[in-house]
Amino acid sequence: MGFKTGIVGMPNVGKSTLFNALTKTAAAQAANFPFCTIEPNTGVVSVPDARLDKLAAIATSKQILPAQMTFVDIAGLVKGASKGEGLGNQFLANIRECDAIAHVLRCFEDDDVTHVDGRVNPVEDAETIETELMLADLESIDKRLVNIVRKVRGGDKDAVDQERLMNAAKAALEDGKPARTVEIDADDKKTWDGLQLLTSKAVLFVCNVEEENAAEGNAHSAAVAKMAEEQGAASVVISAAIEEEISQLDAEEAEMFLEEMGLHEAGLDRLIKAGYGLLHLQTYFTVGPKEARAWTIHEGTSAPQAAGVIHGDFERGFIRAETIAYGDFIAFDGEQGAKEAGKMRSEGKTYIVKDGDVMHFLFNT
DSSP state of 97: T
CATH of domain 4-278: 3.40.50.300
* pLDDT bracket for residue 93 (50, 70, 90): confident
pLDDT, tens digit, 9 for 90 and up, residues 144-161: 999 999 999 999 999 999
Average of pLDDT values for 336-361? 97
For the chain, helix (H) and strand (E) counts, in that order, are: 15, 12
pLDDT of the residue at 47:
83
β-strand partners of 42: 72
DSSP-based three-state secondary structure for 260: helix
CA–CA distance, 365 with 361 (Å, rounded to integer): 12
The string of DSSP letters for 77-129 reads P-TTGGGT-TTHHHHHHHHHT-SEEEEEEE----TTS--TTSS--HHHHHHHH
CA–CA distance, 113 with 97 (Å, rounded to integer): 30
Percent of the chain with pLDDT over 90: 54
pLDDT of the residue at 255:
86
Range in 71-75, 197-201, 239-243, 286-290 the model is least confident about: 71-75
pTM of the model: 0.80
Q: What class is the 300-363 domain?
A: alpha beta
**Which stretch of DSSP H or E encloses residue 125?**
helix 122-147
Domain extent listing, the chain: 4-278, 300-363
pLDDT, tens digit, 9 for 90 and up, residues 289-326: 999 999 999 999 999 999 999 999 999 999 999 999 99
